[in-house]
Amino acid sequence: MKEIILDTETTGLSIKDGHRIVEIGCIELENLIPTKKRFHCYLNPERKVSEKAFEVHGYSDGFLADKKKFSEIAQEFLDFIEGKRLIIHNAEFDLSHLNNELKIIGKDMIKNEIIDTLVLARNKFPGSSISLDALCKKYRIDNSKRKQHTALIDCELLSKVYVNLTDQKEPTLNFQNKEFKAKKNLLKKILYYKKIVEIKNEEKKKHNIYLKTELKKNFF
């Protein structure tokens, strides 16, 4: 099963206020293990970044000015996520912005299967803080690189959180083949083993002589 860990950064919170995406990050998982396939881009939002958003991710208007527009990367992004389940923390936020960008350029909204890790965390830890940082702390995941919110770093952290939220463990390599396991199980069943050795007549005679002449008597 191939899945995509996805995160975005924006100029602000609400699309109703005209806010746009400034960064998209995606990491592909196959059977919960990250592959080498990633999608990442900074975007020119064609508007100013709000002060609060700048405090969160640190992307200035000057930094974003020469970046590609969403319309230039849209098809590449859609091809990357096609047919794969999307894993998003607070999916409503990211999807609203992504679908807004697609709407602006006349494309259909995202129809992928979605898993919202915020919902998973809320069900697993009712009443507890379920931010990405809080979940990293719960699962002892090192988030020291997360000085600010950046899409790829958040994706890397969320991939580890997701594995823990679904109560899965990273698979380990097993180099024991079936033949070795069968032999090992057979040996466990054998509690005692002895080999019968046949004694020759000459050895019996020598043994009897030894008992009569050489062996000291025990008077106790």
Q: What is the CATH number of the domain that holds 120?
A: 3.30.420.10
The answer to whether position 172 is within a domain reads no
* Number of structural domains in the chain: 2
The answer to whether position 220 is within a domain reads no
The answer to whether position 219 is within a domain reads no
Q: What is the mean pLDDT of each run of 10 residues along the chain (220 residues)?
A: 96 97 98 96 98 95 98 98 98 98 98 98 96 95 84 95 82 42 52 59 75 58
Q: Please state, as a whole number, how many other Cβ atoms lie within 10 Å of the Cβ of residue 55.
A: 11
DSSP character at residue 53: H
What phi and psi values does residue 195 have, to the nearest 5 degrees?
Answer: -110, 130
Catalytic, out of 57, 89, 97, 149: 149
The answer to whether position 110 is within a domain reads yes
The pLDDT value given to residue 174: 40
Dihedral sign, Cα of residue 120, residue 122, residue 123, residue 125? positive
Residues 151 and 203 in one domain: no
The pLDDT value given to residue 169: 53
The answer to whether position 86 is within a domain reads yes
CA nearest neighbour of 47 among 113, 97, 110, 6: 97
Partnered with residue 71 across adjacent β-strands are none
The answer to whether position 45 is within a domain reads yes
CA nearest neighbour of 165 among 132, 115, 120, 119: 120
The answer to whether position 218 is within a domain reads no
149 is catalytic: yes
Residues 10 and 55 in one domain: yes
The pLDDT value given to residue 172: 35
* CA pair distance 170, 33, nearest whole angstrom: 7
* DSSP secondary structure of 61-85: HHHHTTSBPHHHHHHHHHHHHTTSE
pTM for this model (two decimals): 0.75
* CA pair distance 22, 18, nearest whole angstrom: 13
Residues 53 and 85 in one domain: yes
Tell me the residue range of the domain where 199 lies. 178-213
CA nearest neighbour of 12 among 3, 1, 22: 22
Residues 12 and 108 in one domain: yes
Q: Is 137 helix (H, G, I), strand (E, B) or coil?
A: helix
The pLDDT value given to residue 181: 52
Residues 191 and 155 in one domain: no
Residues 53 and 6 in one domain: yes
The answer to whether position 195 is within a domain reads yes
Which pLDDT tens digit goes with each residue over 121-130?
A: 999 999 999 9
* DSSP secondary structure of 75-113: HHHHHHHTTSEEEETTHHHHHHHHHHHHHHTT-PPP-S-
